[in-house]
């Protein structure tokens, strides 16, 4: 399995799949884990081939240190992808090439879904995501593209991007893959010590506890409960929010019939982790 590094070579490789056949696409930043592989396997089941991009996109990082320390394991990634059944094209370009020499973000108006949580805490993050996903979708022209609910807000942003730019790719959201401990799989977990890996379980545990108490407690009580759990732990909470799943607006009060989801961003040392969980429809 050869790693393709230019748009021209990728286009050439995809020619036989352009007309009667279908192309699935999974964008990643590499350091692949089982969560990524589930997305690629699904792309292979639902399409005649899958393109996996491995590209650590500089424009979506608001922190230079985080970008530098992001794990890069291309050889290992290739080995993992080779084990899958089906035709996989790995696309791993240089930033200058992918961005046509101008490695900066476009500015998007994604509306209110971009203003909360990750949008609030990582300035310019979604403009960077939008820019790179737009370039990749226009280059690859996939029939379907697969994104994890692990980055739930990003998934909604990408759906909006496709609408804004009138692209013809179907965006498919896939459930969060977790370690047996409950910790959401993430490339960033590779940077954690064993001790931090054990401590980080509090993120999933808190989401589960909030879900269990969702019907019976008010939003301020749930917020308080989540904050308390992190106070008792070594993991530093950046935010805990309960949001309307549709609008992603964080809420202070539950309304009947609406679907809610809880979101967490937290630090294990200097490693930033995110996770989220659907709480359900509020019925009472």
Q: Is 43 in the site for ligand AMP (CB under 6 A)?
A: no
Task: Report the distance separating Cα 209 and Cα 197, nearest Å.
Answer: 19
CA distance 190 to 265: 17
Find tokens 């403009």 and name the residue: 127
Q: How many residues does the chain have?
A: 284
Closest to 225 in 3D by CA, of 199, 200, 202: 202
Catalytic residues: 36
Instruction: Round to whole Å and give the CA distance between 94 and 101.
Output: 10
Query: Counting contacts by CB under 6 A, is residue 187 touching ligand AMP?
Result: yes
Q: Does 92 bind ligand AMP (CB under 6 A)?
A: no
In angstroms, what is the minimal distance from the CB of 61 to ligand AMP?
A: 11
Asked whether position 254 contacts ligand AMP by CB under 6 A, the answer is: no
Query: 56 vs 222, which CB is nearer to ligand AMP?
Result: 56
Antiparallel, parallel or unpaired: β 259-268 and 236-244: antiparallel
- Cβ 232 to ligand AMP shortest distance, Å: 25
Closest to ligand AMP by CB, 28 vs 233, is 28
Q: Which stretch binds ligand AMP (CB under 6 A): 104-112, 115-123, 147-155, 189-197?
A: 147-155
How many whole angstroms separate alpha carbon 91 and alpha carbon 185? 22
CB atoms within 10 A of CB 120: 13
Asked if 39 touches ligand AMP (CB under 6 A), the answer is yes
Count residues near ligand AMP (CB under 6 A): 16
- Bridging pattern class, strands 3-4 and 88-91: parallel
Of 184 and 222, CB closest to ligand AMP? 184
Query: Does 210 contact ligand AMP by CB under 6 A?
Result: no
Report the alpha-carbon distance of residue 108 to residue 131 in Å, rounded.
8
Under rule CB under 6 A, residue 118 binds ligand AMP: no
Is residue 184 a contact residue for ligand AMP (CB under 6 A)?
A: yes
Strands (E) located in 140-207: 144-148, 170-174
Interface with ligand AMP (CB under 6 A), residue from 185, 202, 226, 243: 185
Nearer CB in complex with ligand AMP: 133/210: 133
Contacts of 216 (CB under 8 A, 6+ apart): none
Least separation in angstroms between residue 109's CB and ligand AMP is: 22
Site residues (CB under 6 A) for ligand AMP? 28-29, 35-36, 39, 147-148, 150-151, 174, 176-177, 184-187
């Amino acid at each position: 399995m050869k790693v393709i590094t230019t748009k021209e070579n990728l286009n050439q490789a995809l020619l036989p799949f352009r007309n009667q056949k279908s192309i699935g696409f999974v964008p990643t930043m590499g350091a692949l884990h089982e969560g990524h592989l589930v997305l690629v396997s699904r792309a292979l089941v639902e399409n005649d081939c899958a393109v996996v991009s491995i590209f650590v996109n500089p424009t979506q990082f608001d922190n230079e240190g985080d970008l530098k320390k992001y794990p890069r394991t291309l050889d290992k990634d290739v080995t993992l992808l080779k084990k899958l059944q089906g035709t996989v094209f790995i696309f791993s370009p240089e930033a200058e090439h992918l961005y046509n020499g101008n490695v900066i973000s476009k500015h998007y108006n994604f509306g209110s879904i971009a203003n909360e949580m990750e949008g609030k805490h990582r300035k310019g993050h979604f403009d960077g995501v939008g820019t790179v996903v737009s370039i990749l979708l226009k280059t690859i022209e996939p029939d379907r593209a697969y994104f994890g609910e692990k980055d739930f807000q990003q998934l909604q942003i990408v759906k909006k991007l496709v609408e804004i730019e009138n692209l013809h790719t179907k965006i498919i959201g896939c459930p969060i893959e977790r370690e047996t401990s409950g910790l959401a799989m993430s490339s960033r977990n590779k940077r954690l010590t064993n001790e931090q890996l054990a401590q980080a379980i509090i993120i999933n545990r808190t989401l589960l506890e909030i879900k269990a108490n969702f019907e019976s407690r008010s939003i301020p009580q749930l917020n308080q409960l989540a904050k308390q759990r992190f106070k008792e732990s070594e993991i530093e909470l950046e935010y805990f929010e309960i949001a309307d799943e549709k609008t992603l607006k964080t809420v202070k009060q539950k309304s009947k019939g609406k679907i809610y989801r809880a979101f967490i961003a937290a630090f294990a040392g200097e490693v930033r982790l995110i996770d989220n969980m659907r709480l359900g429809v509020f019925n009472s």
